[in-house]
Amino acid sequence: MNVAAAHPGFLSPTGVEIVFVLVGVATLAAAVVSVTTKQLVHAALWLVVALGGVAVEYLLLTAEFIAWVQVLIYVGSVVVLVLFGLMLTKAPIGRSPDADSGNRIAALAVAVAAAGTLVWVVVDAFRSTWIDVDGAPQGSTKVTGEILFRHWVLPFEALSVLLLAALVGAIVLSRKQSRQQPGER
Amino acid sequence: MHLAYPAVLAALLFSVGLYGVLARRNAILVLMSVELMLNAVNLNLVAFDVWLRDTLHAGQALTLFVIVVAAAEIGIGLAIVLLVYRNRGSSDVDRLTDLAEHGPHDPHDPQGEGDGPSAPEEKAEAAA
C-alpha cells in the first residue's frame, strides 16, 4: 500500500468524507442555480437547498448546535424574509429576462479568478491536514452552551442589543410616513 | 476528515456568492448572494474550530455571532430595499445611479432623454 492509499489519504476516503463531498456537490449546485436562475422566487427556494446543505455539513463536522441554529435562522426566517421582500416589491412570478445585469461576463471572470486563487491557496496550504471527527463532539449543545455563557457572555449580550436596534431600525424604516406626506404611501 | 474538503467547498461557495453579488440586478437577489458568502465564511469557521479543538470554541461562537449579524443585516437591508422600491418603483441596483457621474456617451444614463418619459409610468405602475 503506498502513501496515498494509506488510511488518512485521498484514495481511501472515509464514509463521512464521501457523504461530505456528495452533500457539498448538491449544496454547490443549488447555490449556482440560485444565483443564475431567471425566476426570482425559485432563486429564494434554491437558496433553502443550499443553506440546508450547509447545515448538513455542520452536522458532519460534529457542530450540531450550529446546524440547528442554521436551520432555524436561515431556512426558517431569513429565506421567509427574502420571500416577503420579493412579494412586497412585486417581483415577477415566472421568468424575468432582466434578472442579471449587464456585467455578467466581468462578474464571471472575477468569480472564476477568486475561486481559482482561493482553491489553489487552500489546497496548497492544507493538503496534509486532517480533522479528527471521531472523538468527542466539538459542537454539541452542552459544549456550545457552556462556552457561550461562560466565556462569551458579554459579546452575546451586546449582540442581543444589536438585534433589538436592528428590529427597531427595520420598523422605523418600513413604517408608512403618512403624516409627513399625506398623498404618498 | 481531510481539512481541504470543507475549505474548498467554502471557497467555491464564496465565489458563487461573489458572482451573484456582481451579476444580479435585483437588490434582494444581491442580498441573497451576500447570505451565501456569509455561509461560506461560517463553514470555514466551524471547520477550523473543529480542526484546532479550541478550548474556548471561538470559531463556533463567532459563527453564531455571524448568523445573528446576518439576520440583523437582512432585516435592515430588506427594509431599505422596500423603502427604495416604494420611493422609486424599482429595486434594480443598476438603476439607482443618481450619485453617479455620467459621461457624454454613457448608455445607462437614467436622467437622459431616453429614460425620462418612462419613469413616471413606472411610478404610477408601482402605486397601482
Q: Given CB atoms, is A22 within the 8 Å cutoff of chain B? A: no
Q: Given CB atoms, is B79 within the 8 Å cutoff of chain A? A: yes
Residue A151: give the domain boundaries: 15-174
CATH code for the domain of A45: 1.20.120.1200
Distance separating alpha carbons of residues B30 and B20, to the nearest angstrom: 6
Q: Is residue A150 assigned to a domain? A: yes
Q: Given CB atoms, is B66 within the 8 Å cutoff of chain A? A: no
Chain A residues close to B49, C-beta within 8 Å? 63, 138-139
Q: Residue for cell digits 461557495?
A: B13
Q: Domain count of chain B?
A: 1
Question: Which residue of A lies nearest to B7 if distances are taken between CA atoms?
Answer: A122
Question: Which residue of A lies nearest to B51 if distances are taken between CA atoms?
Answer: A131
Q: Residue for cell digits 472575477?
A: A110
Identify the pLDDT of residue A6.
56
Identify the pLDDT of residue B55.
85
Q: Residue for cell digits 461573489?
A: B18
Residue B112 has pLDDT above 80, yes or no: no
Tell me if A39 sits within 8 A of A92, measured CB to CB.
no
Using 50, 70 and 90 to split pLDDT, how confident is the model at B120? very low
Identify the pLDDT of residue A180.
56
Mean pLDDT of B69-84: 92
ipTM: 0.87
Chain A residues close to B89, C-beta within 8 Å? none
Q: What are phi and psi of B30, to 5 degrees?
A: -65, -40
Q: Using alpha carbons, select from A45, A91, A34 the residue that is nearest to residue B20.
A: A34
Identify the pLDDT of residue A7.
61
Query: How close does chain B come to A172, measured CA to CA in Å?
Result: 9
Chain-chain contact of B15 with A118 (C-beta, under 8 angstroms): yes
Q: Is residue A179 assigned to a domain? A: no
Distance separating alpha carbons of residues B117 and A74, to the nearest angstrom: 41
Calculate the average pLDDT of chain B. 82
Q: Given CB atoms, is B6 within the 8 Å cutoff of chain A? A: yes
Chain B residues close to A180, C-beta within 8 Å? none
**What's the pLDDT tens digit per position in A86-116?**
888 877 777 877 778 778 899 999 999 999 9
Residue B31: give the domain boundaries: 4-98+107-127
Using 50, 70 and 90 to split pLDDT, how confident is the model at B121? very low
Q: What are phi and psi of A8, to 5 degrees?
A: -80, 100
Residue B39 has pLDDT above 80, yes or no: yes
Identify the pLDDT of residue A133.
80
CATH code for the domain of B78: 1.10.287.3510
Chain B residues close to A115, C-beta within 8 Å? 11-12, 14-15
Residue B48 has pLDDT above 60, yes or no: yes
- For B127, the enclosing helix (H) or strand (E) is helix B118-127
Q: Given CB atoms, is A181 within the 8 Å cutoff of chain B? A: no
Chain-chain contact of A31 with B16 (C-beta, under 8 angstroms): yes
Chain-chain contact of B68 with A163 (C-beta, under 8 angstroms): yes
Cell of A154: 458579554
Beta bridge partners, B92, equal: B26
Q: Is residue A77 assigned to a domain? A: yes
User: Can you list the residues of chain A whose pLDDT is less than 50?
Assistant: 1, 184-185
Q: What are phi and psi of A91, to 5 degrees?
A: -65, 140
Q: Domain count of chain A?
A: 1
Chain-chain contact of B1 with A47 (C-beta, under 8 angstroms): no
Distance separating alpha carbons of residues A163 and B122, to the nearest angstrom: 35
Cell of A96: 424575468
Identify the pLDDT of residue A138.
80
Identify the pLDDT of residue A55.
96
Distance separating alpha carbons of residues A122 and B8, to the nearest angstrom: 7
**Per-residue 3-state assignment (H helix, E strand, C coil) for chain A:** CCCCCCCCCCCCCCHHHHHHHHHHHHHHHHHHHHHHCCEHHHHHHHHHHHHHHHHHHHHHCCCHHHHHHHHHHHHHHHHHHHHHHHHHCCCCCCECCCCECCCHHHHHHHHHHHHHHHHHHHHHHCCCCECCCCCCCCCCHHHHHHHHHHCCHHHHHHHHHHHHHHHHHHHHHHCCCCCCCCCCC
Chain B residues close to A166, C-beta within 8 Å? 71-73, 75-76
Q: Nearest by CB to B94, which of A81, A101, A185? A: A101
Q: Is residue A70 assigned to a domain? A: yes
- Burial per residue of B65-85, b for 16 or more beta-carbon CB atoms within 10 angstroms, e otherwise: bbbbebbbbbbbbbbbbbebb
Mean pLDDT of B85-103: 81
Q: Given CB atoms, is A1 within the 8 Å cutoff of chain B? A: no
